[in-house]
């Protein structure tokens, strides 16, 4: 990306982050409700420290805010002892104001760099920093949602839901579920090389796929409620062993944020407690719940490469633009569009529609453990800790969510979370093997 | 207390609380660093809820702040399910401003009551509420000290130590330690009946004491450092079994807040990290450390009744006024005064001086488990949960500390904490048996 | 005790221990079901190591069984690092046979000592060792009861209950509960000096008691079942705060070992699962349950000195001999005898009967925290760790149980357990204050 | 397999299990040192319950030993509530003798079935039961090794190491490490269909491999000691994030069972503590340690399909017969043979030798997460719980170990353990990408 365009992007991404924090008071920005989540103010500081550390100073020498090195290092062991995660919620100092000043100081210095004759490596680092910041934009929203829910008063992040526009489908009905078939064979996966990509998307390489089918939309809250009504959370035979133990230990009986009030289903959203529209995609389920649901439904979760193969085959561009991403400011998945089908009367479960909700709405759990691609090598130095060291005990998710910046998504993008995680906007797309009946 | 005096006291106590919170930003007031401590804003809300609940409304109906009943009930099981303690740190809403408004609304209503023809029972409840609030004043300071210390930047509660006055003895030398003897016999203990007292100080009753001696001042940091240098934290024979396990599990090697920097002893104070004056009383030690120290010193901890007997025998009034209480705003114990002694040359360890530092400075651990007095009966209803249900696995402390309001202290006052607690201003006074040598 | 009598006692106590282990296979003797309990074979080895260590060799040099020092040191930190408690259940080697051989080797050497001209200090140590072994006799039975209950097949320690003799009262009815009054005043407590006593019973000293009354028998299973039926385990206002937390966390709903089968109450005994005779004393309750029951019953638990005062006033000797101790081999508390009362018709709750079940049957929880007597000083050296270091977070129990050797009991005997302990034969005697009605 | 051959195999496998238990006393057979391991006697009972449950009775009706259903069900949720794992160590009853009798009763009934006209499904279930029992043979040895090590006396399973034969190489020197290259392409993996295989090896399917190289022998203790000496356990950049946390939390500094005594390396073996021969393969390392080692060595772990491709390409038969499996009774990996190499002088790191130690010795960690093969479907009913529900948070290991029965191994065999597991005989074979240098 050329320096001018990059400077514009830098300004846009940085202010988008500020805008996400704007509805939150300094007190709200202190909240940390669990080890895996961080306070908003920490996200604001950490993303600035990232630029300062990797771009502006020699690592370990951040100087624009006293102590930044000791409190905003997330997990870079090679840059000194990171603060224990739960300590992030105890940082009343520096204040929100001081962190804002820190952000502005970093902004100025980065933009000064971009105004000069910055080498390609610098430009690449800035682009990395912006993609890193976009990841934290998503986390700001998922973390604050979890934190506000921990308050028994269930306060809202935003009070006014955006005025409905014509693309809002919350009152409409989800189309019937059907499966679209894909032929197997050798397929290219991974980042194609042009444009930004994280190291975990590379090297681009070939994989061998077997014939498969993917559901043409996401599983809805109504369908998931059927699973619950059918004893889904009480039947061990549907669950992975680790998942069943967790269900017992945690007393899980429904997705995170669901509450039954007088027989009606409500859920917590960034707009506070709301009645749950049953046609919208189910979200805030763990891999364990997604996997158990798929077994109950006689299907399975897709592999990450099946998803990528399917996504490569259809134009995502319209979806990215019109899709339900962060910019739509719905902050919640929405009902799948009723797309005209050319489906033959003969088999109602075979779909000839393009796959709906493939990007945006919710991250789709895959059955693929997060692992390095053949030939993967992490970057040297501290940046090598960005992705590689987490390739263990996590699963890949694909497609982005309603709180992912649209620009951030791409077909080769690999998100990853432990199988027990529920506080992200995670959901379910089913897959099936295509095996000749015999 | 008559209504006019009580109204004046009410105004004074309530504003004293506000004044303690004043140096803290709304972000600081969010901090909760452990289960046993609470955020400042919670203290501000809870003390107001206490008046509202027990005085202004029928229990369970607090109405001056929406949701107050669900977030400010500390532990009154009979008033509904209290919020889990660690949830107190997740209350960004209501905001500090809303809690301040809540305080003012409660103030106005209580003062209106007092301006009317309030019955004695109402006056008594108000007096209870003020003593309750004074307890939380102390907790505001000890809790925020602990919370600020959890920040690796070690920020200060206050930046400017008060200008030294003539009563400040931080640079002076502690007098030598000597023991003052007391004869045994039947002695009255407990609240005498006139003036306010908590239910755990009653009924006043007789106890039988055996001859004993008490150290005429508190143990100093220097003396405690000698214990450490002599292997105090590495010698199991000095410790109670539970204490030794804790030393191993927690890696304790010194009192809480002590840090060695380049061979010099520093400690964390409400004014930030400071060099430790070795002649001042050691503080922030658990009962286990106090007990181990006393065993190392060939002495023991006093019983609560030995302390009360000794305190009854000497005029505390001057000490209370001039003592090192909250109002002195030192927020730290200070060196014992060099009092002229009439001590004979013959035995340097026998003291004829009045006991120094008996009130204020630090709470003195006693060897007495916190137990009900003979005939003790908790109040009916929710207020019966105030003290009685904690009479288990705790030890009594006597004398108040440098963050206790002077008015709050009295000879019969019983404070209590679990033996592992270190975040209060707790210290050590030695005792000895007087047994005819044979 | 003279050497000849002591030798006879030594033989008797040591074989009594062997007899308790006899019904257990080497596999049974391996069982350790929790940290607080020990396997039978460990008790057999440890009690021998005790004699060897304190009597036969210099501490740290046990030589009659290789490795004895590393596996049979219970908690004497001054004798080297004790094996972590849970490791006791992993000692398949040495085998039961080797431990038996170890016992015999120690026996021979101790008896040889006694046959010679042993000094008084040696005799005293042997007597201590025998009293120590009697404590472990009780633990062998309570620990194996807990361990066998952990097996879902609920196997029995013994299959045949002893033939009923005339003193067996399991089918009889418990007499009505009444309270016997005692006047207060200065009273002597503690070991009188002649005969054996543990150091925690000394020094004998005076205490001041206030008028009180004690229930004339133990609380029965029927009475405790009434407490349960009245919501005892669901009403927080009846419980100490720590106890209520435990009830919630552990899901306690009844005493340990109680099970409801088709509406009938069964309990686990050393003879396997048996129907529970409702007139027999309730047992296997924690201090928390005993305290909550007493509050529900409008009474309280006695102090240890009230118990001692009452016990001193009545002849215990007949009870000790005929009492329900280990030697009766009932291994379970039995129904109180129907003693003729001279009680006036006027007040049915006032008793003029001697207190029943004061010794044997079940240990009686007192409200007294386990603390040192005035002037208490632990023995020098490792034996000083016997009692003193546990004087924290425990409560005193008095009177012995159905698995205590009769010889082991005395009026000044202080047993102690943490308030949550339930696997000992612990029960409830109520007390009341006597306050002039007004 | 025909009934006659199967009956012979049944007898052989069942007695082989008995023979493994023979050196252990009933007390030894009680030992359970952690949740993940089981007592020997439980293995003996469970493997019999498996035949009884799936072959001889309707599930849930085992009748040859009272209570077998409640204590020997490992994890089959569809057959009733399994005993909590740690409860396995508390089963003194049934006794070892009773379990032996149970085994004989089951043997007789199975052999009676085989003597009759058993249908193919019955024969298949018996074959499954025998393969299941072989898995437990391995566990009997690894579990007892862990349990005996928990005893501070470090007792041995066997006292006499087998007499050295000519195939014993413990004193020889390991050949230099070199890598053998393999071309990529589409490759068949999975069970070929004839002969026994577990369901997790199917369906056989094609995968696409990229060019790779495998080390021609296992990593030795000496090489791993070099890694330690180079700070391996102190350098976070070498570790997966979860692994680094574990290293910190557990204080890992070497493989399990290694001990330094006076500067010499010893390790615990089934023959007790022994000096460690540095040329033998390192074992008892977790996936985390294997992965960190490989990163330190500039290599990586193989995928399970790379291993299978390499193993398919070379004749395993000689190795299986002469290999270091259970039948060799070495119970420990041994030094790689010095095989003549045709290696050109030019590149010492390129191997043209067949891969050594590919089967037997130690299980080789792969970087492949344990996941279902495309089209995998678990069996219906309880047997469907055998493998499928564990396909999460585990890694695949290949090749068998020195305690695996030789018959049990095959090229498509997939073993799996969590990445933190160290008590199995697990070791390291390195892999490398082959990428055109540029």
- What average pLDDT is seen over chain A? 92
pLDDT of amino acid B437: 43
pLDDT of amino acid B163: 66
Percent of all residues in chain A with a pLDDT value above 70, rounded to a whole number? 93
Place of tokens 């630090």: B362
Question: How many whole angstroms separate alpha carbon C429 and alpha carbon D434?
Answer: 81
Whether cis (ω within 30° of 0) applies to the bond prior to D110 is no
Helix or strand (DSSP H, E) at B220: none
Report the relative pairing of strands C179-182 and C363-369 from DSSP bridges: unpaired
The closest alpha carbon to A31, from B73, B26, B154, belongs to B26
DSSP C176: P
Which residues on chain C are in Cβ contact (under 8 Å) with D83?
Answer: 152
pLDDT of amino acid A317: 60
Residue B322, number of CB atoms within 10 A of its CB: 13
Which of C213-222, D246-255, D343-352 has the least mean pLDDT? D343-352
- Spatial neighbors of A417 by CB under 8 A, at least 6 apart, are A287, A394, A395, A397, A424, A426
Mean pLDDT for B281-299 is: 98
Q: What region does A193 belong to: left with phi over 0, alpha with psi -120 to 50, or beta?
A: left
Helix axis angle, A120-149 to A96-115, nearest 10°: 160
The closest alpha carbon to D44, from D59, D24, D60, belongs to D24
- Tell whether the torsion through CA atoms of B388, B394, B395 and B399 is positive or negative: negative
Verify whether the Cβ–Cβ distance B153 to A93 is below 8 Å. yes
- What average pLDDT is seen over chain B? 92
Place of tokens 């920490």: A42
Verify whether the Cβ–Cβ distance B78 to C236 is below 8 Å. yes
Question: How many whole angstroms separate alpha carbon B207 and alpha carbon C208?
Answer: 6
CA-nearest residue to A382 within chain D is D237
Facing residues of B261 across strands?
A: B264
Facing residues of C245 across strands?
A: none
pLDDT of amino acid B59: 62
Q: How far is A145 from chain B (nearest CA, A)?
A: 12
Helix or strand (DSSP H, E) at B273: strand B272-275
Q: Are the C-beta atoms of B64 and B105 separated by less than 8 Å?
A: yes
Reduce the DSSP state of residue B265 to 3 states and report it.
strand
Report the relative pairing of strands B185-189 and A272-275 from DSSP bridges: unpaired
3-state secondary structure chain D: CCHHHHHHHHHHHHHHHHHHHCCCCCCHHHCCCCCCCCCHHHHHHHHHHHHHHHHHCCCCCCCCCCCHHHHCCCCCHHHCCCCCHHHHHHCCCCCHHHHHHHHHHHHHHHHHHHHCCCCHHHHHHHHHHHHHHHHHHHHHHHHHHHHHHCCCCCCCCCCCCCCCCCCCCCCCCCCCCCEEEECCEEEEECCCCCCCCCHHHCCCEEEEECCEEEECCCCEHHHHHHHHHCCHHHCHHHCCHHHHHHHHHHCCCCCCCEEEECCEEEEEECCEEEECCCCCECCCCCHHHHHHHHHHCCCECCCHHHHHHHHHCCCCHHHHHHCCCHHHCCCCCCCCCCCCCCCCCCCCCECCCCCCCCCCCCEEEEEEECCCCCCCCCCCCHHHHCCHHHCCCCEEEECCCCCCCHHHCCCCCCEEECCCCCCCCEECCCEEECCCCC
Q: Is the pLDDT of residue D316 over 80?
A: no
Which residues on chain A are in Cβ contact (under 8 Å) with B99?
Answer: none
List, for chain C, all residue ranges whose pLDDT scores fall below the cut of 50: 437-438
- What pLDDT digit, counting tens, does each position of D371-420 carry? 999 999 888 888 888 888 999 999 999 999 999 999 999 999 999 999 99
Q: Is the pLDDT of residue A318 over 80?
A: no
Strand order across the beta sheet in which B179-182 lies:
B179-182, B212-215, B431-433
pLDDT of amino acid D59: 63
Question: How many whole angstroms separate alpha carbon C148 and alpha carbon C150?
Answer: 5
Give the chains touching B; criterion: ≥3 Cβ pairs < 8 Å.
A, C
Residue of D235, D237, D371, D382 to mutate, interface with A, max A Cβ within 10 Å: D237
pLDDT of amino acid A215: 97
- What pLDDT digit, counting tens, does each position of B400-415 carry? 999 999 999 999 999 9
pLDDT of amino acid B378: 86
Facing residues of C16 across strands?
A: none
Q: Is the pLDDT of residue A36 over 70?
A: yes
Residue of D73, D92, D158 to mutate, interface with C, max C Cβ within 10 Å: D92
The DSSP code sequence of A175-239 is PPP-EEEE--EEEEES--SSS---GGG-S-EEEEE--EEEESSPPBHHHHHHHHHTTGGG-GGGS
Which of B298-307, C131-140, C151-160, D428-437 has the least mean pLDDT? D428-437
Q: Is the pLDDT of residue B436 over 80?
A: no
The closest alpha carbon to D231, from D254, D257, D202, belongs to D254
C-alpha dihedral (C4, C7, C8, C11), degrees to nearest 10: -170
CA-nearest residue to C81 within chain B is B236
Question: Count of residues for chain A?
Answer: 438
Question: Least CB-CB distance to D389: which of A239, A389, A392?
Answer: A239
Q: What region does B60 belong to: left with phi over 0, alpha with psi -120 to 50, or beta?
A: left
Report the relative pairing of strands C363-369 and C426-427 from DSSP bridges: parallel
Question: How many whole angstroms separate alpha carbon B139 and alpha carbon D85?
Answer: 45
Ranges assigned E (strand) in B152-193: 179-182, 185-189
Using 50, 70 and 90 to split pLDDT, how confident is the model at A164? low
Question: Count of residues for chain D?
Answer: 438
pLDDT of amino acid C350: 83
Higher pLDDT, B337 or A333: A333
Q: Are the C-beta atoms of B47 and B136 separated by less than 8 Å?
A: yes
The DSSP code sequence of C323-379 is SSSGGGT--S--PPP-------TT-TTB--SPPSS-SSSSEEEEEEE--PPTT--PP
Question: How many whole angstroms separate alpha carbon A75 and alpha carbon A90?
Answer: 17
3-state secondary structure B229-248: HCCHHHCHHHCCHHHHHHHH
pLDDT of amino acid A148: 98
pLDDT of amino acid A344: 53
Q: Do chains B and A touch (3 or more CB pairs under 8 A)?
A: yes
Strand order across the beta sheet in which B258-261 lies:
B258-261, B264-269, B272-275
Q: Is the pLDDT of residue D351 over 90?
A: no
A389 CB-side CA count, 13 A:
24
Q: Vertex B425, ends B424 and B427: CA angle to 5°?
A: 120
Q: What is the largest CA-CA distance in chain C?
A: 70
- What pLDDT digit, counting tens, does each position of D133-150 carry? 999 999 999 999 999 999
CB neighbour burial string for C295-304, b if at least 16 within 10 angstroms, e if fewer: bbbebbbbbb
Q: Are the C-beta atoms of A37 and A146 separated by less than 8 Å?
A: yes
Using 50, 70 and 90 to split pLDDT, how confident is the model at D352? confident
Q: Is the pLDDT of residue B438 over 50?
A: no
Verify whether the Cβ–Cβ distance D237 to A384 is below 8 Å. yes
Verify whether the Cβ–Cβ distance C71 to D25 is below 8 Å. no
Q: Tell me the backbone φ, ψ of residue C206, rounded to 5 degrees.
A: -95, 145
- What average pLDDT is seen over chain D? 92
The closest alpha carbon to C374, from B306, B268, D115, belongs to B306
Question: How many whole angstroms separate alpha carbon C183 and alpha carbon B366?
Answer: 30
Question: How many whole angstroms separate alpha carbon D322 and alpha carbon D425?
Answer: 19
Which of A305-319, B333-347, C378-392, D69-83 has the least mean pLDDT? B333-347
CB neighbour burial string for D354-379, b if at least 16 within 10 angstroms, e if fewer: bbbbbbbbbbbbbbbbbbbbbbbebe
Reduce the DSSP state of residue B211 to 3 states and report it.
coil
Q: Is the pLDDT of residue A200 over 90?
A: yes
Question: Count of residues for chain C?
Answer: 438
Which residues on chain A are in Cβ contact (under 8 Å) with B25?
Answer: 26, 92, 95
Report the relative pairing of strands B426-427 and B363-369 from DSSP bridges: parallel
Whether cis (ω within 30° of 0) applies to the bond prior to D203 is yes
Q: How far is B30 from chain A (nearest CA, A)?
A: 7
Q: Do chains D and C touch (3 or more CB pairs under 8 A)?
A: yes
Kindly tell me the burial class for residue C345, based on how many C-beta atoms sit within 10 Å of its own C-beta (0-12, 13-18, 19 or more): exposed
Q: Is the pLDDT of residue D347 over 70?
A: no
Mean pLDDT for B97-112 is: 97
- What pLDDT digit, counting tens, does each position of D7-65 carry? 999 999 999 999 999 999 999 999 999 999 999 999 999 999 999 999 997 766 668 99
Q: Are the C-beta atoms of C370 and C195 separated by less than 8 Å?
A: no
pLDDT of amino acid D43: 98
Question: Least CB-CB distance to C152: which of D26, D70, D148?
Answer: D70
Residue of A244, A376, A389, A437 to mutate, interface with D, max D Cβ within 10 Å: A389
Spacing of C-alpha A6 from chain mean position: 24
Which of A179-188, A380-389, D87-96, D157-166 has the least mean pLDDT? D157-166
Question: Least CB-CB distance to B369: which of C237, C369, C435?
Answer: C369
pLDDT of amino acid D144: 98
The radius of gyration of chain A's CA atoms, rounded to the nearest angstrom, is: 22
- What pLDDT digit, counting tens, does each position of A210-239 carry? 999 999 999 999 999 999 999 999 999 999
């Amino acid at each position: 990306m050329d320096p001018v365009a990059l400077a514009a992007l830098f300004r846009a991404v940085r202010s988008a982050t500020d805008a996400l924090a704007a509805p939150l008071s300094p007190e709200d920005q202190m909240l940390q409700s669990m080890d895996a989540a961080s306070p908003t103010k920490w996200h604001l500081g950490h993303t600035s420290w990232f630029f300062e550390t990797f771009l502006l100073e020699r690592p370990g020498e951040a100087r624009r805010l006293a102590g930044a090195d000791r409190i905003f290092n997330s997990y870079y062991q090679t840059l000194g002892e990171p603060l224990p995660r739960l300590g992030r919620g105890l940082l009343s100092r520096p204040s929100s104001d001081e962190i804002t000043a820190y952000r502005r100081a970093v902004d100025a210095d980065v933009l000064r760099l971009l105004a000069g004759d910055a080498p390609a490596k610098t430009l690449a680092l800035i682009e990395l920093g912006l993609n890193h910041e976009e990841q934290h934009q998503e986390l700001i929203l998922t973390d604050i949602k979890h934190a506000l829910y921990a308050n028994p008063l269930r306060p809202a992040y935003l009070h006014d839901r955006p005025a409905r526009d014509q693309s809002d489908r919350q009152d409409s009905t989800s189309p019937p579920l059907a499966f679209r078939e894909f032929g197997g064979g050798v397929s290219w996966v991974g980042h194609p090389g042009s444009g930004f990509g994280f190291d975990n998307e590379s090297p681009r390489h070939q994989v061998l796929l077997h014939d498969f089918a993917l559901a043409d939309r996401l599983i809805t809250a109504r369908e998931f409620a059927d699973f619950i009504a059918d004893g889904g959370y009480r039947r061990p035979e549907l669950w992975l062993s680790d998942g069943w133990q967790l269900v017992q230990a945690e007393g899980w009986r429904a997705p995170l944020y669901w509450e039954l009030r007088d027989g009606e289903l409500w859920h917590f959203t960034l707009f506070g407690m709301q009645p749950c529209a049953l046609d919208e995609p189910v979200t805030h389920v763990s891999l364990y719940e997604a996997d158990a649901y798929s077994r109950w439904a006689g299907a399975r979760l897709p592999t990450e490469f099946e998803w990528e193969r399917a996504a490569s085959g259809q134009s995502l561009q319209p979806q990215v633009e019109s899709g339900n991403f962060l910019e739509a400011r719905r902050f919640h998945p929405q009902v799948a569009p009723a797309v005209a089908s050319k489906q033959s009367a003969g088999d109602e479960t075979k779909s000839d529609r393009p796959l709906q909700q493939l990007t945006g709405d919710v991250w789709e759990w895959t059955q693929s453990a997060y692992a390095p691609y053949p030939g993967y090598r992490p970057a040297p130095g501290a940046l090598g800790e960005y992705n590689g060291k987490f390739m263990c005990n996590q699963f890949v998710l694909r497609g982005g969510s309603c709180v992912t910046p649209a620009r951030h998504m791409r077909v080769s993008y690999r998100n990853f979370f432990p199988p027990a995680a529920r506080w992200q906007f995670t959901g379910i797309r089913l897959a099936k093997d295509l095996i000749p009946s015999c």
